Amino acid sequence: MILIDGKKTSQDIKNEIASRVAEIKAEGGKVPHLAAVLVGNDGASQTYVGAKVKSCEEVGFVSTLVRLEADITEEELLKVVEDINTNPDIDGLIVQLPLPKHISVDKVTNKIKPEKDVDGFTPANVGRMTLNWPAYVAATPYGIVELLKRYQIETAGKHCVVIGRSHIVGSPMSILMARNGYPGNATVTLTHSKTQNLAEICRSADILIVAIGKPEFVTADMVKRGAVVIDVGIHRIEDASKKSGFRLIGDVKFDEVAEKAAAITPVPGGVGPMTIAALLYNTLQSAEKKVFG
């Protein structure tokens, strides 16, 4: 069984990005600049944004964290986004989700200039990805694509089952796996909460990508021997034996599934770290005008 090591792979990518940033600096070019907008005081969001800002520092990017009160109006937030859109020094803009309930995520997402949408959430980038045009691909699916590539996982002609159809993970993942390219050319089944006979469908998967958001949902009896299993889920569960008081688990029951799988991502240390590496990569692409020209 191959353990698909997202921690090491993401570090490799960060090292590659840091080398490129060093070259840009040596050439007197513009250092990539990512702006992150955080609304309110949600603990998990603060942790995620903090990790993104820290990673920017690690690779030599400039980063700006814009912190806004939870009671900011939608109009005020749209104005902040517009200001960043028109700031020529900033290459990438992310608005950390979730947003407070009185603000429309769709409106805010749609306000982000596609050329700076390094999260790949705007309709323009989703459309471009779907057409197989150059695009900013959402960081989590992009991170998974990169893992499949770097571990040389064969995808052409394989049956890929994706569990979950969210806009940020499952849906884009299904499109990427079906596209004409590598990784891709798979025969894809996209499943969701209305899917019937899910376990049976999963058992026919050569590649199983799980983004259901339910702890240890996928058990060994749902997995074909020799399958490649990608676990996107992240859940904190209490664990008194840990200093932090919790440990992380995924959507897949790792120990029993690992015994059957040909390759599998662990949680933590699988897809999670790749998401940040992909975001940094998209920001570098933006600074170098590689996607929109």
249 lies in the binding site for ligand NAP (CB under 6 A): no
Is 119 in the active site?
yes
What Rg value do the Cα atoms of the chain yield, rounded?
Answer: 19
Shortest distance (Å) from residue 166 CB to ligand NAP: 3
Closer residue to ligand NAP (CB): 80 or 261: 261
Alpha carbon distance 60, 21 (integer Å): 6
Q: Which of the residues 177 through 206 are near ligand NAP (CB under 6 A)?
A: 191-195, 198
Q: Does 170 bind ligand NAP (CB under 6 A)?
A: yes
Q: Edge-to-edge strand order for the sheet containing 92-95?
A: 62-68, 33-39, 92-95
Q: Which amino acid is at 12?
A: D
Return the half-sphere exposure (C-beta side, CA atoms, 13 A cut-off) of residue 31. Answer: 13
Residue 145 touches ligand NAP, criterion: CB under 6 A: no
In the list 213, 220, 247, 288, the residue contacting ligand NAP (rule: CB under 6 A) is 213
Q: Which residue lies nearer to ligand NAP by CB, 110 or 166?
A: 166
**Residue 59 half-sphere exposure, CB side, CA atoms within 13 Å?**
32
212 belongs to the binding site for ligand NAP (CB under 6 A): yes
Q: Which amino acid appears at position 88 of this protein? A: P
Does the annotation count 221 as an active-site position?
Answer: no
Pull the structure tokens for residue 274: 């790749």
Q: Please tell me whether residue 211 binds ligand NAP under the rule CB under 6 A.
A: yes
Q: Among residues 5, 14, 91, 96, which one is catalytic?
A: 96
Size of the site for ligand NAP (CB under 6 A): 24
The vertex-109 CA angle with 108 and 112, nearest 5°, equals 90
Q: Are 142 and 260 in contact (CB under 8 A)?
A: no
Please give the positions annotated as active site.
Answer: 52, 96, 119
Give residues in contact with ligand NAP (CB under 6 A): 140, 163-166, 168-170, 191-195, 198, 211-213, 232-234, 251, 271-272, 275
